[in-house]
Structure formats: C-alpha cells, structure tokens
Structure 1
C-alpha cells in the first residue's frame, strides 16, 4: 500500500501549507452526542461504548488529506508522549470521511506511521455520515470542474473530540489548540477520574 506522500512529509516535519483541502466549521445547531458505530481494520464493529474506563480522542479526516489530518495525528502522538504512562488511559481514534479510498487496510497502515495505538475506523457512507452528525462534524467531497470523478479532495471539520470513560461526549479541541494544552486538559480530567474507573 502506498501511503500518501504529504502525510509522510509532514510527519517528518518536511511539509507545510495547504494543498487542495480545507477545514469547514462544525454544525453548531444541536449538542453533540458523540455516538458512533463503525468498523476497525479487522472488520470488528466498534462503538463509543467499547472503551470503558478510557478517554477517547477522536478526529475525522482521510488518508490523502494534504495537511490537516497529518498535522492532527502528529499532535495526537505528541499528546500521548506528554501523557507518558497515563497515555494508556486515552484511546486515539481516526475516523475516515472517505470510505471509497480509505479501506481498513489503508487506514491501518496510515495510522501506524504516526503511532501504533491510533485506531482507524471506517464503515458504510451512511454510518460515517451518522457518526459525523453525532459530533456535529461536517465534510464534503469536492471535485474540481473538468476533473475525473475519482480526482477529488474532502473538505472536513478539523480538530479533536474528547469522550469520557463512559463513552459520553465531553468537548472539542479546535484545530489550532496546541498539543501541550490538550494534554494538560486531559491530565486534569484524569486527575478527577477515580483510577478504578479507568483500569
């Protein structure tokens, strides 16, 4: 599997700037529920309730995203590093908004380049749409005029979403939020959460 070059370059600190994809604002109309039912690389159904005792740190995106997604996953890796031994109490998750190209195998290879603990999730177009709706996240496939149907990018909501140990939605961290600040906020929540609930 050939991993998208922009992601590898950015992960290595060699690429900057935006190339053909944009972040779009979340839908703020209804409170997010944070619920999802998707599939991991092994074809196993995964829901927001499947990580009892762990906080979940999620992002929506796609593997051919030129900058937003690799930046987000680099930051997720930095957050885990800052948390140290406590990182085991946080499960990072990457949900694709491009199931057409992001097969389970592609997602598994892609996320492994950033950190072995990041789980990539996919599913049918309808299940992904429902998951995004439950986070008030938005995405839209964009094809340039005259371009072939298989040449496109996906504009999508950026940032990371945090779920609690019971799988409930806590908050969103905006795309510009420094990884160190996110890690500090999570550490505060870990301090407030009894150890017995996160084993």
Structure 2
C-alpha cells in the first residue's frame, strides 16, 4: 500500500502542471467578412476569448449572452475590450454562420473560424479540448461537439492574464475586468 501511494505521488510529481494558461495565446483565423485576424489585430485592447460552436445547445449561447452582459455592464469601458468567439466546428461554422451567430448576441463580438487544422492548433495553444460526438446511426452532419468552456482574457499586448471559468457570475467578471483596466491605465 505504501509503495502504491509513493508511486502515485511520483507519477503526479513529474506530470506537466496545467494551470489553464494557454501554451501560446497566438491565433490566425478568419472573421465573418473573410479577413485574416490574429492576436495583433486588436493590439492595445484587452481580448476576451471563448471557444464553442454555433449548434451548441447550452454552454455557448450562455457564454455569449454573458459576454454581451459584460459589454453592457462596462458601458463606455467596453471600448477597450474585444470579445472573440472561436469556433471548434469549422465544418459547419463558416464565416457567415459565425458572423450571424455572434451578432445575435452583440455585434461587437467577433466570430472567428478557419481551416480545421488552424482551428485545432489554436485550440491546442489555448489548451481547449474538443471532440466531435455522433450518435450511432446519425447522419454525417448530425453531431455535437464536446468542448472546454470558459473565457480567456488577454492584455493589451496580447499577454495572457486570466481565465474565467464557465459559470463565473457576470458581476465578478466585470469587477475583475475593471481592475485589469485600471492597472493597465496606471502602468
């Protein structure tokens, strides 16, 4: 028993520590107008990034509704924040589809998509896991995508600042964003 506990402790001590930080917060994808967008496109602004897909029945619409509430609560302060939705379902989420979807919640939310390999690389960089799930006998286009949830905050220089877990109350997100905005103003 003692040996088993020691071995478990040894294996976890050598495991890579995952604190939720992106390995590399870079991306190169396409917006709803077909323009190439990368992390430098919004230089000088904070970026609030979430991953999901437009056919998502619950987590994604909830997250985007919360993003819209954050923007509203920030008022004029929202000008310093760029909210971004990155699809994990590029097969169905074309630029036009993503653009209509994000605009439904708030026109300021930029929807991004791209080639499957590019989307997979960005998701991997952010440590976002996703997997297409098909029910037995379902048609090719009938599937869901299991994926990580939450919102990443990048600073004005594109640096990772924090991740808001799924379900973080909007007032908490707003309070923390204002603190980051204030800290950036006084640097």
By the TM > 0.5 criterion, same fold? Answer: yes
For 2:124, the equivalent position in structure 1 comes to 133
Q: CA deviation at 1:127?
A: 0.5
Give 2:153's match in structure 1, choosing from 159, 162, 166.
162
**Alignment partners' CA distance in 2, 1:110 and 1:123:** 16
In structure 2, relative to structure 1, the CA distance for the partners of 1:185 and 1:52 (3 Å cut) is: same
Where has structure 1 moved over 6 Å in runs of 4 or more? none
Counterpart of 1:28?
18
Matches within 5 A, 1:82-97: 82-97=73-88
Is 1:114 aligned with 2:142?
no
1:41, distance to aligned residue in structure 2 (A): 1.0
Structure ranking higher in helix proportion? 2
Match of 2:8 in 1: none
1:150 aligns with 2:141: yes
One of 78, 87, 100 as aligned partner of 2:91: 100
CA distance in 1, matches of 2:75, 2:19: 37
Partner of 1:66: helix, strand, or coil?
A: coil
The count of corresponding residues between Structure 1 and Structure 2 is 170
Distance 1:155-1:116 versus aligned 2 partners, 3 A rule: same
Separation in 2 of the partners of 1:132 and 1:119?
Answer: 17
- What secondary structure, in the 3-state scheme, does the structure 1 residue paired with 2:102 have? helix
Q: Displacement of 1:30 after TM fit?
A: 7.9
SS at match of 1:161: strand
Q: RCO higher in 1 or 2 (8 Å CA, sep ≥ 6)?
A: 1
Q: Distance in 2 between matches of 1:168 and 1:142?
A: 33
Q: Which of these two proteins has the greater Rg computed from alpha carbons?
A: 2
Give the structure-2-normalised TM-score: 0.87
TM-score of the superposed pair, with normalisation by structure 1: 0.82
